[in-house]
Structure 1
Amino acid sequence: MEFHNLISQSPLDRPLTIAIAGAGGRGSQYARMNALLENPARIVAVADPAQGRLDYVRDEHGVPEDGLFHSWRELAGRPRLADAILICTQDNDHLEPTLAFARLGYDILLEKPMAITEAECEAIEAASREYGVSISVCHVLRYTPYTVRLMELLGDGAIGDIVSVEHLEPIGFDHFAHSYVRGSWRTTKEAAPMLMAKSCHDIDWLSYVIGRPVERVQSFGSLRHFTAANKPAGAADRCVGCAVAADCPYDATRIYEIGNLPFALSAMLGGRQPTPELVSEALLTSQYGRCVYECDNDVADHQVVNLEYEGGVTASFTVTAFTLIAGRKTSIFGTHGMIVGDSDTISVTDFGTKETVVHPTAPVDHTASGGHGGGDYGLMKSFVEALSTGKRELILTDVAESLATHKVVFAAERSRETGTVVTV
């Protein structure tokens, strides 16, 4: 049974109702995107252990007091309260809520990654079929205006047939230090490997753009820099008062300056509005004030993935911490031309005429707090409209397709760990 066939084709005669499990960065962002829609869904329930986050969603989106819950389990213990639910809990807490809400009959929008093990991802896909509900994974890159225009150009044959692709995800040194050295995705004891947590977006996007399944994978990468061996002489265990902080690009007192990285500040402060006093306290007491060379992180800080697709098409993907925060950069090489894109503009070169035409898309913020280049808004628009109108084609990926691209990421990790080429 395909995901698209699980969506009712009959339009609703009322606004769609949704619940949110996990009102952190992702959950609250999707709530904001929903509010921008011409015909938004009505948020009737939200579950999160942080009272500040519950208060925010209640105040901003009109959630009634009896729709506030301090855990997803508490919400799942009630009869079904909404048509659909957004599951935005931490990566290692996706399987249980997804199964619980699927059993209750909710259609589900599930934050990526699906789960942190292959078996858990398979169980989620099976639940969609068992309980007859739709489960859609938040592959937001498919929904950006940039990707929409790129797919139009490729569909029009702008460069002939795709032969190979070169793709870069520049995480940003400060974003990486926040999320993958100090933060919630720093260790596989608590979250997925970095490639899954950060770049299942990109592996999925490459399959979408190329339009073929992956057959073989090879990957290299490691934790190269953020280790005790690279700690500067004289550095302290925390950044506040550190004698070498002025020369360290990863100094937490600068990374968490108010106005710098809104999503990072929100995570450090548990969703509370930042003040100098709260930031100072967090830098002295929380995990986010630690020296990046004295953390318990174990995930790779750079990785390369080589992919071979059906028919011999190839792609190389690089993800790295050691950049400024920027949009993805992609070169697509075809039989009749090539495309170079930077997530804002798409340059198409025709081999016959040797002319290059630049196709700009609206410049947007590519950070998580900025909406992933319009992808967060596009995802919510498609999800709400699909369930409201029965236009199932508006959702660009189903759970079976997400499972397939997640399996490619798991294969890449096996390759990285074993030094072998893995057949998917």
Structure 2
Amino acid sequence: MSGSLGKEMASSNASTASAQLTTDQKKVTAVVVGAGNRGKNYARFALECPHLFSVVGVAEPRKYARDLFQKTHSIPSDRCFTSWETLAAEEKFADCAIVSTQDQLHLQPTVALAKKGYHILLEKPMAVREEDCRTIYKACKDAGVILAVCHVLRYHPPVRKLKELIDSGVIGEVVNINHTEPVGFWHFAHSFVRGNWHNTTQSTFSLLAKCCHDVDLIAYWMGNKQCTQLSSFGSLHHFRKEKKPAGGGMRCMECEVEISCPYSAKKIYLDPAPEAPRWPMSVVCDIEDAPEGYLYHLAHALKTGPYGKCVYDTDNDVCDNQVVNFEFSDGSTATLTMIAFSEHICARKTEVYGTLGQLIWDEAKGHIIHHYDFLTKTATVKTCDEMETALPGWGHGGADYFTIKSFVKAVAVEDKEYIFSGPQVSLETHLLTFAAEEARRSGQIVRPSQDPRWIV
């Protein structure tokens, strides 16, 4: 396929998808708290479906990010705030708030804006402490507002197709789910060694930051059955000072052995050299209109900032590999594996084993489900037709698009039925994630159904 034809098809698909959205739906207005990658990601829906959604305010302490967001969405100056506190001090002026600050800063703006009557789209995890998750849950419940936690994969057509097939009984009773989250070797180095989630005291543990999605998925596919016991094992195996290659430098830009290191910042961010910000380079440096050019500022950030440090010389302490074993009330089991060292980035693989057959979803191979029937000994492929309605280029394989689309619909018609990741179920699976980390740290089997810390 030629590049021009591919662009024409993408444009056609986008137009078709936009046209398929209900045009007589009430237009929803939003404020965005935190204008980083995730905030910009969800706000993108306003640019592509302006008849359904518009961003009318932003709270962001970084001037450059705030000004860029203001320009992109044509936000009046008096609706641009340097903090969530100044936003929350104003009278409510939008239908909903998208809270996409750093994880440890979710609690206060979410509670304050819920009390103001804003419906809330909250980036995952809900919060980094169990008690804060409970506080958010109670605040939104007491205020009577919609709370949707960004467990975006619950909205992903292949995930929902897998759930549909499980519930249909096509594989009989589910006995075991084996689920793997391959983070990706350079992605882990970017986010969990050098980046915002590298240290538990500054952010949170990696299972919560990365895989509360995946604990939630296992619970979803299992029909939210009660988890009776779980165990977990994991460690920071590789990214430690004693694993540093001989002759390695403190920073990649002047390291003599950089050429032989797969985690080199030069390889991750400068090969090939970008001409404008795009993920993950946009996290390192988002200045795109300076006279010196983007590449100049990106290289400077690598020479001076955290993303140019040797991966063996940071203060990271989060697990780079972890397994969690679950047992449920009916005796069924599940295993979650989080692994940093993989080729594919977050291309999850799930195997569901039932008494009458099995189902396999490997996102690295597309949005399809493989079904094998024990009785007929036949294999079939189940497709996810809804993926055709996704606008191109959205994160998590299109799941981000379906998440914001459902949230906007729920707010527009004031119907929580469009929310698949509401407060009750999201709190339950967050507590399971905290319980799993407790099991890893203590080396003990944890029984969530018997411990009030892990019960909603």
Is the 2:287–2:294 Cα contact (8 Å) retained in structure 1? no
Deviations 1:246-286 (A, max 9, x none): 00000001111245993221111146478210111011111
1:317 match: 336
Match of 1:164 among 168, 173, 176: 176
Is the 1:179–1:185 Cα contact (8 Å) retained in structure 2? yes
Gaps of 5+ in 1: 1-11
Match of 1:154 among 166, 170, 175: 166
Match of 1:123 among 110, 119, 135: 135
Secondary structure class of the residue paired with 2:283: helix
Match of 2:284 among 262, 265, 268: 268
**Residue 164 (structure 1) shift:** 0.5
Deviations 1:124-153 (A, max 9, x none): 111112222222110000111211222222
Work out whether 1:349 is the aligned partner of 2:369.
no
Distance in 2 separating the partners of 1:13 and 1:219: 46
Distance in 2 separating the partners of 1:99 and 1:272: 34
Secondary structure class of the residue paired with 1:136: strand
Residues 13-24 of structure 1: pairs in structure 2 closer than 5 A = 14-24=26-36
**Residue 72 (structure 1) shift:** 1.3
Match of 2:404 among 380, 395, 413: 380
Distance in 2 separating the partners of 1:38 and 1:356: 43
Work out whether 1:189 is the aligned partner of 2:201.
yes
1:277 match: 296
Work out whether 1:46 is the aligned partner of 2:58.
yes
How high is the TM-score relative to the length of structure 1?
0.92
1:254 match: 267
**Residue 244 (structure 1) shift:** 0.5
Is the 2:146–2:411 Cα contact (8 Å) retained in structure 1? no
Match of 1:86 among 91, 94, 98: 98
Residues 24-39 of structure 1: pairs in structure 2 closer than 5 A = 24-37=36-49, 39=51
1:359 match: 382
Count, aligned residues: 409
Stretch of structure 1 that moved more, 349-358 or 48-57: 48-57
Match of 1:295 among 314, 317, 326: 314
Is the 1:21–1:48 Cα contact (8 Å) retained in structure 2? yes
**Residue 114 (structure 1) shift:** 0.5
Distance in 1 separating the partners of 2:51 and 2:336: 38
Stretch of structure 1 that moved more, 281-290 or 211-220: 211-220
Runs of 4+ in 1 over 6 A off after TM superposition: none
Amino acid at match of 2:210: K
Deviations 1:204-229 (A, max 9, x none): 11111110232211000000100100
Stretch of structure 1 that moved more, 218-227 or 127-136: 127-136
Is the 1:53–1:272 Cα contact (8 Å) retained in structure 2? no
Work out whether 1:95 is the aligned partner of 2:107.
yes
Deviations 1:54-85 (A, max 9, x none): 23322222222221111111211211121110
2:145 match: 133
1:3 match: none
1:228 match: 241
Q: 1:396 to 1:125 in 2, by over 3 A?
A: same
Stretch of structure 1 that moved more, 235-244 or 43-52: 43-52
Match of 1:114 among 123, 126, 130: 126
Distance in 1 separating the partners of 2:90 and 2:143: 18
Amino acid at match of 1:341: W
1:308 match: 327
Work out whether 1:243 is the aligned partner of 2:256.
yes
Is the 1:108–1:135 Cα contact (8 Å) retained in structure 2? yes
Match of 1:66 among 78, 103, 113: 78
Stretch of structure 1 that moved more, 125-134 or 225-234: 125-134
Give me the CA root mean square deviation.
Answer: 1.9
Is the 1:47–1:54 Cα contact (8 Å) retained in structure 2? yes
Distance in 2 separating the partners of 1:23 and 1:266: 12
Q: 1:318 to 1:200 in 2, by over 3 A?
A: same
Is the 2:45–2:53 Cα contact (8 Å) retained in structure 1? no
Amino acid at match of 1:295: T
Match of 2:422 among 370, 395, 398: 398
How high is the TM-score relative to the length of structure 2?
0.86
Secondary structure class of the residue paired with 2:312: coil
Gaps of 5+ in 2: 1-23, 449-456
1:339 match: 359
Amino acid at match of 2:381: V
1:9 match: none
**Residue 16 (structure 1) shift:** 1.2
Distance in 1 separating the partners of 2:383 and 2:159: 12
Distance in 1 separating the partners of 2:334 and 2:165: 19
**Residue 14 (structure 1) shift:** 4.3
**Residue 309 (structure 1) shift:** 1.5
